[in-house]
Amino acid sequence: MPLVPGRQILNEAIKGGYGVGAFNVNNMEQIQAIMTAAVETQSPVFIQASRGALKYANLQYLRHLMLAAVELNPDIPVAMHLDHGNGLDSAKTAVDLGFTSVMIDGSLKEDAKTPTTFEENVDVTKKVVEYCHKYGVSVEGELGTLGGIEDGVGSGQIHLTDPDQAVSFIQQTGLDYLALAIGTSHGAYKFKTAPTLAMDIVKKVRGLCPDTPLVMHGSSTVPKDLRDEINRLGGKMPNAMGVPVEAIQEGIKNGVAKINIDTDGRMAITAAIRKVFMEEPDKFDPREYLTPARAAHAKIVAERMRQFGQAGHAKDYKPMTLAENKAYYESKAKTTA
pLDDT tens-place string over residues 235-282: 998 887 789 999 999 999 999 999 999 999 999 999 999 999 999 999
What pLDDT score was predicted for residue 188?
54
Is the pLDDT at 146 greater than 70, yes or no? no
At 57 the pLDDT is 87
Residue 220 lies in a domain: yes
Alpha-carbon distance of 143 to 163, in angstroms, equals: 9
Report if residue 214 sits inside a domain. Answer: yes
Structural domain total, the chain: 1
Instruction: Dump pLDDT digits (tens) for 58-82.
Output: 888 988 999 999 999 999 999 999 9
136 is in which domain, residue-wise?
6-326
pLDDT at position 336: 73
CATH number for the domain spanning 277: value is 3.20.20.70
Q: CA of 155: how far to CAs of 66, 116, 139, 145, in Å? A: 30, 10, 22, 7
User: 86-104 pLDDT, tens per residue?
Assistant: 899 999 999 999 999 999 9
Among all residues, which ones are annotated catalytic?
A: 83
Task: Please state, in angstroms and rounded to a whole number, the distance separating the CA atoms of residues 334 and 337.
Answer: 5
Residues with Cβ within 8 Å of 128's Cβ and at least 6 positions away in sequence, in order, are 85, 88, 91, 102, 104, 106, 139
Rounded Cα gap, residues 118 and 327, in angstroms: 30
The verdict on residue 202 lying in a domain is yes
* Residue percentage of the chain with pLDDT more than 70: 92
Helix or strand (DSSP H, E) at 142? strand 138-143
Per-residue pLDDT band for 189 (boundaries 50, 70, 90) equals low
Q: Is residue 332 part of a domain?
A: no
Name the band, by pLDDT with cuts 50, 70 and 90, for residue 159: confident
Q: What is the pLDDT of residue 103?
A: 96
Measured over the CA atoms of residue 169, residue 83, residue 218 and residue 211, the dihedral's sign is positive
- Considering the chain, what is the average pLDDT of its residues? 91
- pLDDT score, position 180: 94
| pLDDT of the residue at 116 | 87
336 found inside a domain: no
Asked whether residue 110 carries a pLDDT value surpassing 90, the answer given is no
Task: Report the C-alpha gap between 305 and 290 in whole angstroms.
Answer: 22
State residue 81's pLDDT score: 96
pLDDT of residue 155: 45
Give the closest residue to 288 by CA, choosing from 271, 265, 272: 272
Q: What is the amino acid identity at position 96?
A: D
Distance CA 6, CA 135 (A): 13
**The pLDDT of residue 191 is above 80:** no
Separation CA 265–CA 301 (nearest Å): 7
Q: Is 337 a member of any domain? A: no
Residue 224 in domain: yes
pLDDT of 6 higher than 80:
yes
In this structure, is residue 331 part of a structural domain? Answer: no
Mean pLDDT lowest among 54-58, 212-216, 322-326 = 54-58
